C-alpha cells in the first residue's frame, strides 16, 4: 500500500520548523564555543566558556535558584488559586458566566503592558497600594527591597497567569464523568470527602499536564522582570533568562551568553522530564 501520504502530512510542518531553527541552534552551539564579545570576532576557544560557567560564575547558579523559587512558587499559587476558582464557578452560582469571563481576562492581556500599569500601582510614593497601607502605618518598599521585589514579581505573575490554570482546570472539571459523583452522593459523602476522594484524583492527569505546561512557560519569565524591576534591586529578581540577557545583549559577551543558554536548555529539559515523571508518580498513585 502506498504510504507516501504519511510523510506529506508530517513533513511540511516539521521541515519548516527545523528549517527556521537549524541555523540559530547550530549557531548557538558554535557561538558557545567562541569568545565573541565586543572585541573578538567569531574565534574558537573550545570549552572555555563552559568551564568558566561551571567553576567561576556563581551568579548564574544563583539566578537558577531564584528562577526555581519564583517559578515553583508562582505555579503552586496559580494551581491552588486556579483550582479553587474553577471549582467555585464549576457548578451553578450567581453570575456564573460573568465570573468565568472575568477570571479569564488577565490572561488575555499583554503581560508587558499590564506590568507597566503595575509599576505605577506599586509605586512607593505615588501608588495606591502604599497610599492605602499608609493608613496602617506601613509603607513597604515594593520595588526597592530585595525580598519584597520578589514578592511583587510573584503577585504580578499570579495575577497574569492564574487564569491559564483556571481555564485548563475548569475545562477538565467540565469534562469529568458524572458517575463517580453520583456514587459519592449515594454514599453520603461530605463536600470535603468528595473533593479529596473523587474530584482531585479524577483531575490528577489534567493537573499534571497543566502544571508542567505552566512550569515551562513560567521558567521563561522575562517580560515582567524586565519592566518591573530590571532584575533588581541588585540581583534579587534576576532570573536565568535575565542574566543571559544582560551578558548577551547588554555586555555583549555573546559567546559566553550562548554557552549559558545551551546549558540552561539542557538543565531545563532534564529537570522538566524528572518533574513530569515525579508528578505522575505522586499524583497518580493517590
Partner 1 sequence: MGKLYKFLKYSFITIWTVFVVAPFLWALTTSFKDFNSVNGGATYIPWVDFEPKLEGWKVLIKSPANGGVDIIEPYFNSLFVTCTASLISIVLGTLSAYALSRFTFKAGFVKNNDITFFFISQRIMPPIVLSIPFFLFLGAIDLLDSLIGLIVVYIVLLMPIAVWIMVDFFNKVPREIDETALIDGCNPYQAFFKVVLPNSVPGLIVAGMFCIIFGWIDFFFAFILTFTEVQLLPVKIVALNSSITPWWSLSASALVSVAPLIIVAFIVERYLSKGNLSGAIK
- Nearest CA-CA partner of 79 in 179, 166, 173: 166
Query: For residues 51 and 171, which CB has a smaller minimum distance to partner 1 in the complex?
Result: 171
Integer CA distances (angstroms), 244 to 220, 222, 257, in order = 12, 11, 5
99 vs 222: CA distance, rounded Å: 29
The CB-of-3 to partner 1 minimum distance in angstroms stands at: 8
Shortest Cβ 17–partner 1 spacing (Å): 6
Distance, in Å, from the CA atom of 228 to the CA atom of 61, rounded to the nearest integer, reads 22
User: Taking the complex as a whole, how short is the minimal distance between the CB of residue 226 and partner 1, in angstroms?
Assistant: 8
Cβ–Cβ < 8 Å for 134, 154: no
Q: Which of 273, 159, 260 is nearest to 216 (CA)?
A: 273
Q: What are 106's three cell numbers?
A: 488577565
> What are the residue ranges of helices labelled H in the chain?
4-32, 48-56, 58-88, 96-108, 111-121, 128-133, 146-174, 179-186, 191-194, 200-218, 223-228, 240-245, 254-285
**DSSP assignment letter at 109:** S
Q: Judged by CB, which is closer to partner 1: 13, or 58?
A: 13
In whole angstroms, the minimum distance from the beta carbon of 99 to partner 1 comes to 7
Q: Nearer to partner 1 by C-beta: 52 or 119? A: 119
- State in angstroms the smallest separation of the CB of 24 from partner 1: 3
- Check the CA dihedral 258-263-269-272 and report its sign: negative
Question: Closer to partner 1 at the Cβ: 53 or 168?
Answer: 168
- Please identify, using beta-carbon distances, which residue of 138 and 265 lies nearer to partner 1: 265
Residue written as cell 573578538? Answer: 40
Cβ distance to partner 1 smaller for residue 62 or 271: 271
Question: Minimal distance in Å, beta carbon 105 to partner 1?
Answer: 5
CB of 48 to partner 1, least distance (A): 19
User: Closer to partner 1 at the Cβ: 27 or 44?
Assistant: 27
Amino acid at each position: 500500500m502506498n504510504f507516501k501520504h504519511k510523510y506529506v502530512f508530517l513533513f511540511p510542518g516539521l521541515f519548516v520548523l527545523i528549517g527556521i531553527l537549524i541555523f540559530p541552534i547550530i549557531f548557538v552551539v558554535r557561538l558557545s564555543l567562541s569568545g565573541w564579545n565586543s572585541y573578538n570576532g567569531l574565534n574558537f576557544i573550545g570549552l572555555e566558556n563552559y568551564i568558566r560557567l561551571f567553576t567561576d560564575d556563581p551568579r548564574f547558579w544563583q539566578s537558577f535558584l531564584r528562577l526555581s523559587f519564583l517559578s515553583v512558587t508562582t505555579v503552586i499559587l496559580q494551581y491552588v488559586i486556579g483550582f479553587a476558582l474553577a471549582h467555585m464557578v464549576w457548578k451553578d452560582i450567581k453570575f456564573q458566566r460573568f465570573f468565568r469571563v472575568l477570571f479569564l481576562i488577565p490572561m488575555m492581556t499583554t503581560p508587558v503592558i499590564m506590568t507597566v500599569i503595575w509599576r505605577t500601582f506599586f509605586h512607593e510614593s505615588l501608588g495606591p497600594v502604599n497610599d492605602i497601607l499608609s493608613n496602617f502605618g506601613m509603607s513597604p518598599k515594593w520595588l526597592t527591597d530585595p525580598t519584597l521585589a520578589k514578592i511583587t514579581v510573584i503577585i504580578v505573575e499570579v495575577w497574569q497567569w492564574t487564569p491559564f490554570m483556571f481555564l485548563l482546570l475548569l475545562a477538565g472539571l467540565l469534562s469529568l464523568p458524572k458517575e463517580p459523583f453520583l456514587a459519592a452522593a449515594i454514599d453520603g459523602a461530605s463536600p470535603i470527602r468528595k473533593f479529596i476522594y473523587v474530584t482531585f484524583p479524577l483531575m490528577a492527569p489534567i493537573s499534571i499536564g497543566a502544571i508542567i505546561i505552566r512550569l515551562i512557560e513560567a521558567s521563561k519569565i522575562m517580560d515582567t522582570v524586565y519592566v518591573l524591576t530590571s532584575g533588581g534591586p541588585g540581583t534579587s529578581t534576576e532570573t536565568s533568562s535575565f542574566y543571559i540577557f544582560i551578558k548577551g545583549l547588554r555586555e555583549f559577551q555573546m559567546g559566553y551568553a550562548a554557552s549559558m543558554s545551551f546549558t540552561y536548555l539542557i538543565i531545563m529539559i532534564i529537570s522538566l522530564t524528572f518533574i513530569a515523571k515525579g508528578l505522575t508518580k505522586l499524583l497518580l498513585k493517590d
